[in-house]
Every structure is written in structure tokens, then in C-alpha cells.
Amino acid sequence: MFYWFLKHIALGPILKTLFRPWVEGAENLPTTGGAILASNHLSFSDSFFLPLEVERRVTFLAKGDYFTGKGIKGKLTAAFFRGINQVPVDRSGGRASEAALRKGVEILNRGELLGIYPEGTRSPDGRLYRGKTGIARMALEAGVPVIPVAMINTFDIQPPGQVIPRIMRVGIKIGKPLDFSRYAGMEDDRFVLRSITDEIMYELMLLSGQEYVDTYAAKAKEEIADARAAAHEALVAGAPDYALARKAS
């Protein structure tokens, strides 16, 4: 009920008025049955615009941190994410990752649409990063198609660290369903899983027009953070010398 209220009454009309989202390839979405919507992940707002423009209800697997915040803000955030049909998962790896996969397959077996960001986290710089193979396992175990979805301009309206989005048009490109039934029964073959995942990411690259980087987005984030920290340390270390040089001149 809250999902419907937000989409059609409260949040949806506001987003449509301000950002005027356009959709290309809506005919590629199935009207019934389970399917995975595999989207690039450029912005926090992706999880708002995609469900807004898809007629059927979309369930996302969201990181558990959104549901465990403290205080009033944390509780409101958790209530909001549950209300918009996001399911908390622990993405720390091992058994937690296996539980997330099981939850995704369960949703698909109910004949629902499951939204997944194969990169695992938001792109730190607008480029497309290597996909994680969990999406391939879910597709094979549930026997459902994967539909590539490219979010357009969402990085520009709300890059990482920006709270209030810029007002500009947002686009969504929906590709043709990818059928991996030829790999049925091979969900434990890591080479098959990598091949499927790479095919999905290739389609996303073509749809989105993004530059592809063959490394994980999480690793790229760490490298960017380390580079910034090193630059800051160098600046601080050189600050006294710089000040003295300025005074001497």
C-alpha cells in the first residue's frame, strides 16, 4: 500500500514533474512472470526512477545498512526502504552472500520483478564497472530472463556525496531480454557464471554508452579514497614550506 501511495500519489508525480523521465524500450518488459532487471548504478536516485517508470512492482535487494540505522532518522530510513519494496541483505560475503542469493531466487520464483545492480555499488566516477556473478546464479537457478536497463543522466543529477539532486531530465533505456536457458544446470560453474555476467555488462555498456572498466567498483572507490587521502597528507605536509615560501617572496 505504501509503495503504491509513494509511486502514484506522493513521490511519483513530483519526480515526473521535476525530472520529466523518458523511457526507451518499455515493450521489452514482461507483463507477467519473474525476471531480473539488471541496471547500471550511477546514483542513489536510480532506485526511485526505475520503479517509477516500470508499471509492475519492482523489488530491490538493498544493503542492510539502510535498515539498521540508529535513532529517529535510522528508523524512518528503514521504514521508507521497506515501504518502497526493498529487501535488506548482508553483502559482507560468505554465508551472507549466499542468503542474499536465496532471497533473490525466492522473489523470482514468486513471479516478481527483481531489480539488481550487478556492479554491487554505485559507480564512483560515472564509468561502468565489472559485474558480480551473483546475478548469473540467480538467473540460472530461477530460470528467468535478464533485462538490461541503463539509467541515463542520474550521475549528473546526483553524483556520490551530493544530497540534493540537480533538476534535469532523466532517461531509462530498457534492452531486449537475455535468455541464458542454454546454461541450465550449470549454476555452480564459475566460468559459466563469469561469462553470463560479462555478457550482461556488455549489453549495459552498449545501452548506456558508458566507458567500461574491468575492475570492481568497490575496489575503484578504495583506490580513489586512498589517492585523495595521500593528496591531502602531501598538502598538509607541504603547507608550512609553502607558507614560508610565500612569506619569503
Q: Which residues of 151-176 are buried (b: 16+ CB within 10 A; e: fewer)?
A: bbbbbebbbbeeeebeeeebbbbbbe
Please check whether residues 246 and 233 belong to one and the same domain: yes
Please check whether residues 110 and 191 belong to one and the same domain: yes
Element (H, E) at 41: none
Please check whether residues 148 and 71 belong to one and the same domain: yes
Q: What is the CATH number of the domain that holds 176?
A: 3.40.1130.10
> How far is residue 216's CA from residue 220's CA, in Å, rounded to a whole number?
6
Please check whether residues 230 and 202 belong to one and the same domain: no
Q: Which cell numbers hold the place of 112?
A: 516478481
Candidates 54, 86, 59; CA nearest to 174 is 54
State how far Cα 222 lies from the chain centre. Answer: 18
Do residues 154 and 172 touch, judged by C-beta distance below 8 A?
Answer: no
Please check whether residues 170 and 230 belong to one and the same domain: no
Please check whether residues 148 and 242 belong to one and the same domain: no
Alpha carbon separation from 10 to 2, 51, 90, 108 (Å, rounded)? 10, 14, 30, 28
Please check whether residues 79 and 163 belong to one and the same domain: yes
Element (H, E) at 113: strand 113-116
How many domains would you assign to the chain?
2
Return all residues near 133 (Cβ < 8 A) that are at least 6 apart. Answer: 190, 193, 194, 196, 197
Phi, psi values for residue 150, rounded to 5°: -110, 120
Candidates 145, 144, 124, 132; CA nearest to 210 is 124
Burial class (CB within 10 angstroms; exposed 0-12, middle 13-18, buried 19+) of 76: exposed
The pLDDT tens digits along the chain (249 residues) read: 778 888 888 888 999 999 999 999 999 999 999 999 999 999 988 988 999 999 999 998 877 777 777 888 777 777 777 777 777 776 666 676 788 889 899 999 999 999 999 998 899 999 999 999 999 999 999 999 999 999 999 999 998 888 888 999 999 999 999 999 999 999 999 999 999 999 999 999 999 999 999 999 999 989 888 888 888 788 887 765 544 444 444
- pTM confidence score: 0.86
Do residues 133 and 193 touch, judged by C-beta distance below 8 A?
Answer: yes
Look-up of cell digits 580513489: 224
pLDDT computed for residue 198 by the predictor: 98
Please check whether residues 65 and 23 belong to one and the same domain: yes
Please check whether residues 76 and 111 belong to one and the same domain: yes
Please check whether residues 222 and 123 belong to one and the same domain: no
> How far is residue 159's CA from residue 147's CA, in Å, rounded to a whole number?
25
Please check whether residues 68 and 173 belong to one and the same domain: yes
Please check whether residues 65 and 118 belong to one and the same domain: yes
pLDDT computed for residue 180 by the predictor: 98
Phi, psi values for residue 174, rounded to 5°: -110, 120
Domain span at residue 237 reads: 216-249
